[in-house]
Amino acid sequence: MNRIAALVFAFLVVLAAPAHAVQPDEIMADPAKEARARELSRELRCMVCQNQSIDDSEAPLARDLRLLVRERISAGDTDKQVIDFLVARYGEYVLLKPRLERQTLLLWLLTPLALGGGALALWLQNRRRLKLASADGDARLKLSPDEEARLEKLIAEQAPADKPQ
Amino acid sequence: MIAEAGHYALVLALALALIQSTVPVIGARLRDPALMNVARSTALAQLLFVGLSFLALVTLHVTSDFSVANVYENSHSLKPLIYKITGVWGNHEGSMLLWVSILALFGGMVAAFGNNLPLSLRSLALAVQAWVSTAFYLFILITSNPFLRLANAPIEGRDLNPVLQDPGLAIHPPMLYLGYVGFSISFSFAVAALIEGRIDAAWARWVRPWTLMAWIFLTLGIAMGSYWAYYELGWGGWWFWDPVENASLMPWLAGTALLHSAVVMEKRNALKVWTILLAILTFSLSLLGTFLVRSGVLTSVHAFATDPTRGVFILLILCLFIGGSLSLYAWRASALKQGGLFAPISREGSLVLNNLLLTTACATVFIGTLYPLGLEVLTGERISVGAPFFNLTFAPLFVPLLLAVPFGPLLAWKRGDLLGAGQRLFAAGGVALVTIAVLWAWTRGGSAFAPLAIGLAVFVIAGALTDLAERCMLFRVPLSIAFRRARGLPRASWGTVFAHAGVGVALIGIVCESTWNTELITTLKPNDVAKVAGYELKLDNLAQRQGPNFAELLAHFTVSEGGKTIGVMTPSKRNFTTRAASTTEAALMSRGVSQLYISLGDASANGGIAVRIYHKPMVLLIWFGPVLMAFGGLLSLSDRRLRVGAPKPAKASRSLQPAE
C-alpha cells in the first residue's frame, strides 16, 4: 500500500514540478566524463517516475541517482561497472533498455520474428498462388470431355456441309 | 437543470444507439428497406442528442457550476474562458464524452453523406458503429458520469492541472480523437462487409476517404502533441516513447499501412482479405490506446487493481470488440474471393513491403509498450522498456522502408521494372550521395551516422520530386506542356508527392536536432551573458508578475548575434496557487527552421537562477514534415475521384443479396 502511495505521490510530483533535470551544481569538471554520465543517465530509469530517465527527471531520487552515477565514474568505473552496480542495487527495473535474458527473450525477438515470419508467409503465398495460377492455366487449355464431345459434333456437322454436292 | 438535461440526453442517445444496433441488422436480414433506413435517422438523432449532452457539459464548465463534481474538480472561476472550455476534455469523464461525441459525429456523417453506398452496406456499417457507441455510452453512464452533482456545492473549484492550461489542449485531444475514432468507420465497414460476405474494389473506394480523413487528423494530432510536449515540459524533448504516445503511434502505423493496402484493393482488387484485417486491427489499436490511457493501468498495475471498475469495463469492451471482430474475420475471411495476381516486383509488391515493415514496426511498439505490464502481471517481475529500446529496434525498420519509398510510385502495376525505376532515380540518388559527401567533409570527425541518415532523407524527398517530374514528363517535353500536364495530374498523385516528401523533411529535422543540438546548463545572475552556438544571451532582469490564476517569475533575456541585438526572450515559471503546482513556460525564438530554447530552473540563494539554454538546429522540420504529410492527405482527399464518389456498381450486384 505504501508503495502505491509513493508511486501516486511521485506521479503527482512529476506532473506538478517543471521538469528540470540536470542541475548546474551536478555537472562534472571533466567534459568527457560528464558526457559519459549524461549518456548513462539516459539509459537509467527514475524509478518513482512514469517512464522518465534520470536525465529528464526532476524527482529527488533521480538527482540522487545522477550524483551516484557521477560518483562511480569519478571513482574510475567503466560504463558497464556503473550499470552493474546500479542493477545490483535497484534491480533490472532501473534499465530502460532491458538486457537480453530468459524473461525478455520474446521482447527482443518479436521484431525479427515478425519481419522474418511475415516475409516467409508472403513468399509461400506468392509461390502457392503462382502454382495455382499455372495449374489453372493448364486446366483452361485442356478441354473437358463435354467440350470434346461438342467439338466432335460440330466438326461432324460441318464436314458434310463443306462437301460440294 | 442543465446537468440533468445533459445526462438525460446521453441516456436518450444510448436508447437510440440500441435501436440503431438492432433494427437495421434485422432489416438487412429481411431485406426490408424501411427497417434498414432506420439506421440513417437514428444515427443523425444520436448525433443531435450527444451534441446536446456535450454542449450541456461545456455550459456547466463555462458558467463554473461547482455543484457538478466534474466542474468542481477541474475548473476554477478565475480560469481564462478558453481553458474553461478546453478543460471540458482535460479530464477523464469529459474526454470520454468527447470520444463518443466524435463517434456520433462520424456516424452522422456516414448517414448524411453516404448516399452513394449500397443500402444494406450502409445500414450494417451504421449498426456496427452503434454497437461501439452503445458500449461506450454504457461505460460513461455506469462508471464515469460527468454530470454527477455534489450534495453541498463548494464556492470555488480545484482548478485544472496547470500543465494542461495551454492552447495545446484546445487542439491536441480533439485532433487525436478525430483520428482515433475516425478509424471506427473503416472498422464498421470491414465488419459489415464480413457480415455481408461481399467485398470488392468499390468497397475500398468508399472506405478510403474516411480512412484518409482519420489518418490526416491523427497525423496532425500526434505532431501537435509532440510540439506541445516540446515547449511545455521544459527539457526540449519532443518524443519520449511514453506508453501514452505509443498508444497513439500504433493506430497511426497500422492506419498508414491500411491507407496503402486500400490503394491496392481499389486499383487492382487484390489484398482484400489483408485490408479487411488491417481495418479491424487499426481500430482495435485505437481501442487499446483508449484502454491504456483511460484505465490507469499505465500509472501502475497496482493502481489498476485498487480501483478496477473503469479499467475492467474498458477491458471488457476491448475483448468483446477485438475478439468478436477477429472471430468473425477468421470465420468469414475464407469466403472472400482473392483477386488480382501480381509479380513480387510491382507497385503492389512495393505496397506489400510497405505493409510488412509498417506492421512489424507497429508490433514492435506494441510489444515494447505491453511487455512490462504483461511480465509484471504474470511473474511479478518489473522491467522497464524505454526510449533506448525503441530507438534500437524501431529505427532499423525505417531504413529499408525509406529506401523503398521512392521506388514504389515508379513501379508499374502487376509487373514492374526495378532496373528502370532505378535508372529514373539516378538523379535523386546522385543528389543524396553528394549531400552525404558534403556533410561528411563538413562535420569531419563527427557522427558518421548523421550524414547517412540525412542522405536517406534527401533521397526520399528527391525521389518524390522525381515521381512528379516523371508524371509531367519534365525536360522531355516543352516546359509549357509539362506545366499543363502537372496541372492535369490527379490530386491524389500530388498528395503522394507531398506526403512522401514530408517523411523526408521530418527525418532531416529529427537527425539534425538529435545530432547537433547544443545545450548549456548553468546558473545566471542579472547582467550575466551566456554564449550558445554563436548567440549571446544576456539576462537583463528577473521580475515577478501576477497572472489571472497564477503568479510567475519572469526572466528577461536579450539575444544578440555577432554584437547585433536580434530580439528578446522571456521564459517564466508559473506557480498556480490552487493546486500548489508550478509549470515552466519555455521561451522559443525561431531562426529560420532552427530554434533557441530557454527554460528556467530554481532560483539560487545568491540571486541567480538556473537556466537551460538549447540551440536546436532544424528542429521545426520535425513538425513541418507531418504537416506536409497531412497536406498531401488533404490533396488526395480532394481528388475528384473521391469527391464525386464511387461509381455505382452494375445493376445486378446492386440488388440486395442475402449474406451467404
CA torsion sign, B350 to B352 to B354 to B360?
A: negative
Chain B: give the shortest CA distance to residue A147, in Å. 27
Asked whether B217 and B168 are in contact (CB, 8 A), the reply is: no
* Nearest-angstrom CA–CA distance, B494 and B490: 7
DSSP three-state, residue B608: coil
Does B302 have pLDDT greater than 80?
Answer: no
Which band of pLDDT confidence, cut at 50, 70 and 90, is reported for residue B205?
A: confident
Does B443 have pLDDT greater than 60?
Answer: yes
Asked whether B38 and B124 are in contact (CB, 8 A), the reply is: no
* Nearest-angstrom CA–CA distance, B496 and B631: 10
Q: Are residues A88 and A143 in the same domain?
A: no
HEC secondary structure over B367-426: HHHHHHHHHHHHHCCCCCCCHHHHHHHHHHHHHHHHHHCCCHHHCCCCCCCHHHHHHHCH
Residue A22: its chain B contacts at CB < 8 A?
521
- Substitution target in A107, A110, A125 with the highest count of B β-carbons within 10 Å is A107
Chain B: give the shortest CA distance to residue A145, in Å. 28
What per-residue confidence (pLDDT) applies to B583?
A: 85
CA B297: distance to chain centroid? 21
Residue A34: its chain B contacts at CB < 8 A?
none
Does B306 have pLDDT greater than 70?
Answer: no
* Nearest-angstrom CA–CA distance, B494 and B497: 5
Which band of pLDDT confidence, cut at 50, 70 and 90, is reported for residue A138?
A: low
Query: B29 is written with which cell numbers?
Result: 436480414
Contact A51 B386 (CB under 8 A): yes
What per-residue confidence (pLDDT) applies to B643?
A: 55
Nearest Cβ partner of A107 from B243, B371, B397?
A: B371
Contact B579 A24 (CB under 8 A): no
pLDDT for B345-364, tens place per residue?
889 899 999 999 999 999 99
Does B651 have pLDDT greater than 80?
Answer: no
Which residues lie below 8 Å from residue B418, measured CB to CB, with a gap of 6+? Answer: B345, B407, B411
Contact B584 A45 (CB under 8 A): no
The dihedral formed by the CA atoms of B191, B194, B196 and B202, expressed in degrees to the nearest 10: 90
Q: Are residues A39 and A112 in the same domain?
A: no
Q: Are residues A6 and A79 in the same domain?
A: yes
Lowest mean pLDDT among B124-133, B339-348, B646-655: B646-655
Asked whether B172 and B244 are in contact (CB, 8 A), the reply is: no
Q: Are residues A14 and A87 in the same domain?
A: yes
What per-residue confidence (pLDDT) applies to B658?
A: 42
CA distances from B310 to B93, B188, B316, B317, B466 (A): 11, 24, 10, 11, 52
Does A9 have pLDDT greater than 50?
Answer: no
Search chain A and give the residue with CA nearest B600. A20
Does B331 have pLDDT greater than 70?
Answer: yes
Radius of gyration for chain A, computed over Cα atoms and rounded to the nearest angstrom? 36
What per-residue confidence (pLDDT) applies to A4?
A: 39
Nearest Cβ partner of B356 from A18, A96, A119?
A: A119
Which band of pLDDT confidence, cut at 50, 70 and 90, is reported for residue B486?
A: confident
pLDDT more than 90, % of chain B = 59
Asked whether B460 and B501 are in contact (CB, 8 A), the reply is: yes
Q: How many domains does chain A have?
A: 2
Place of cell 530502460: A96
Query: B412 is written with which cell numbers?
Result: 508499374
* Nearest-angstrom CA–CA distance, B155 and B9: 27
Which band of pLDDT confidence, cut at 50, 70 and 90, is reported for residue B484?
A: confident
User: Strand B594-603 and strand B587-591: pairing?
Assistant: antiparallel
* Nearest-angstrom CA–CA distance, B505 and B461: 7
Domain end marker among A55, A77, A99:
A99
Search chain A and give the residue with CA nearest B352. A122
Search chain B and give the residue with CA nearest A95. B384
Query: Is the ipTM beyond the 0.90 threshold?
Result: no
Does B96 have pLDDT greater than 90?
Answer: yes
Asked whether B462 and B428 are in contact (CB, 8 A), the reply is: yes
DSSP three-state, residue B638: coil
CA distances from B621 to B20, B396, B503, B518, B574 (A): 45, 21, 10, 17, 29
- Our CA angle for B104, B176, B392, nearest 5°, is 140
CB pairs under 8 A between A and B: 143
Contact A23 B601 (CB under 8 A): yes
Query: B399 is written with which cell numbers?
Result: 531504413
Residue A24: its chain B contacts at CB < 8 A?
521-523, 601, 610
What per-residue confidence (pLDDT) applies to A137?
A: 61
Chain B: give the shortest CA distance to residue A92, in Å. 6
Nearest Cβ partner of A111 from B162, B360, B599?
A: B360
* Nearest-angstrom CA–CA distance, B386 and B237: 14
Q: What are phi and psi of B237, to 5 degrees?
A: -80, 155
Residue predicted with more confidence, B410 or B306: B410
Place of cell 440513417: B40
What per-residue confidence (pLDDT) applies to B134?
A: 96
* Nearest-angstrom CA–CA distance, B461 and A165: 78
Quick count: other Cβ atoms within 10 Å of Cβ B547? 14
Nearest Cβ partner of A107 from B360, B367, B523?
A: B367
pLDDT for B459-475, tens place per residue?
999 999 999 998 888 88
* Nearest-angstrom CA–CA distance, B608 and B525: 4
Q: What is the distance between the terminal CA atoms of chain A, rounded to a whole angstrom?
A: 111
The CATH number of the domain holding residue A66 is: 1.10.8.640
What per-residue confidence (pLDDT) applies to A1?
A: 32
Q: Are residues A83 and A60 in the same domain?
A: yes
Asked whether A30 and A76 are in contact (CB, 8 A), the reply is: no
What per-residue confidence (pLDDT) applies to B192?
A: 94
Let me know if B126 is exposed, middle or buried by CB neighbors in 10 A (0-12, 13-18, 19+): buried
- Substitution target in A115, A122, A129, A136 with the highest count of B β-carbons within 10 Å is A115
Average pLDDT rounded to a whole number, residues B483-508: 92
Q: What is the distance between the terminal CA atoms of chain B, rounded to a whole angstrom?
A: 51
Contact A16 B356 (CB under 8 A): no
pLDDT more than 90, % of chain A = 25
Q: Are residues A122 and A143 in the same domain?
A: yes
Which band of pLDDT confidence, cut at 50, 70 and 90, is reported for residue A128?
A: confident
Residue B371: its chain A contacts at CB < 8 A?
104, 106-107
Does B435 have pLDDT greater than 90?
Answer: yes
Does A7 have pLDDT greater than 70?
Answer: no
* Nearest-angstrom CA–CA distance, B295 and B137: 16
User: Strand B587-591 and strand B572-576: pairing?
Assistant: unpaired
Q: What are phi and psi of B363, to 5 degrees?
A: -65, -35
* Nearest-angstrom CA–CA distance, B431 and B245: 35
Q: Are residues A7 and A74 in the same domain?
A: yes
Chain B: give the shortest CA distance to residue A146, in Å. 27
Place of cell 466542474: B71
User: Strand B535-546 and strand B529-532: pairing?
Assistant: antiparallel
Domain enclosing residue A60, as ranges: 2-99
Domain end marker among A99, A118, A144:
A99
Residue B580: its chain A contacts at CB < 8 A?
16
* Nearest-angstrom CA–CA distance, B222 and B625: 12
As beta bridge partners, residue B581 has B576
Q: Are residues A68 and A119 in the same domain?
A: no
Residue predicted with more confidence, B432 or B658: B432
Place of cell 460441318: A158
DSSP three-state, residue B589: strand
Helical pair B272-294 and B243-268, crossing angle rounded to 10 deg: 160
What per-residue confidence (pLDDT) applies to A68?
A: 92
Average pLDDT rounded to a whole number, residues A75-94: 90
Quick count: other Cβ atoms within 10 Å of Cβ A98? 22
* Nearest-angstrom CA–CA distance, B487 and B480: 11
Which residues lie below 8 Å from residue B584, measured CB to CB, with a gap of 6+? Answer: A18, A19, A20, B232, B233, B234, B571, B572, B573, B574, B599, B600
Domain end marker among A55, A71, A99:
A99
Chain B: give the shortest CA distance to residue A55, in Å. 10
Does B333 have pLDDT greater than 90?
Answer: no
* Nearest-angstrom CA–CA distance, B648 and B655: 12
Average pLDDT, rounded, for chain A: 78
Nearest Cβ partner of B584 from A7, A20, A106?
A: A20
What per-residue confidence (pLDDT) applies to A48?
A: 83
Quick count: other Cβ atoms within 10 Å of Cβ B491? 18
Which residues lie below 8 Å from residue B494, measured CB to CB, with a gap of 6+? Answer: B468, B632, B635, B636
Q: Are residues A14 and A84 in the same domain?
A: yes
pLDDT for A44-56, tens place per residue?
998 887 778 888 8
Which band of pLDDT confidence, cut at 50, 70 and 90, is reported for residue A110?
A: very high
Q: Among B168, B210, B180, B287, which residue's Cα sits nearest to residue B623?
A: B168
Does A5 have pLDDT greater than 50?
Answer: no
Which band of pLDDT confidence, cut at 50, 70 and 90, is reported for residue A136?
A: low
* Nearest-angstrom CA–CA distance, B514 and B450: 9
What per-residue confidence (pLDDT) applies to B447?
A: 77
Chain B: give the shortest CA distance to residue A108, in Å. 8
Lowest mean pLDDT among A141-155, B81-95, B152-166: A141-155
Q: Are residues A61 and A13 in the same domain?
A: yes
Nearest Cβ partner of B584 from A7, A18, A50?
A: A18
Contact A96 B344 (CB under 8 A): no
DSSP three-state, residue A58: coil
Q: Among B110, B213, B177, B174, which residue's Cα sits nearest to residue B634?
A: B213
pLDDT for B405-424, tens place per residue?
999 999 988 888 888 889 88
pTM: 0.89
pLDDT for B240-273, tens place per residue?
898 888 999 999 999 999 999 998 888 888 888 8
Q: Are residues A27 and A95 in the same domain?
A: yes
Which band of pLDDT confidence, cut at 50, 70 and 90, is reported for residue B39?
A: very high
Q: Are residues A26 and A52 in the same domain?
A: yes
Let me know if B360 is exposed, middle or buried by CB neighbors in 10 A (0-12, 13-18, 19+): buried
pLDDT more than 70, % of chain B = 95
Contact A7 B300 (CB under 8 A): yes
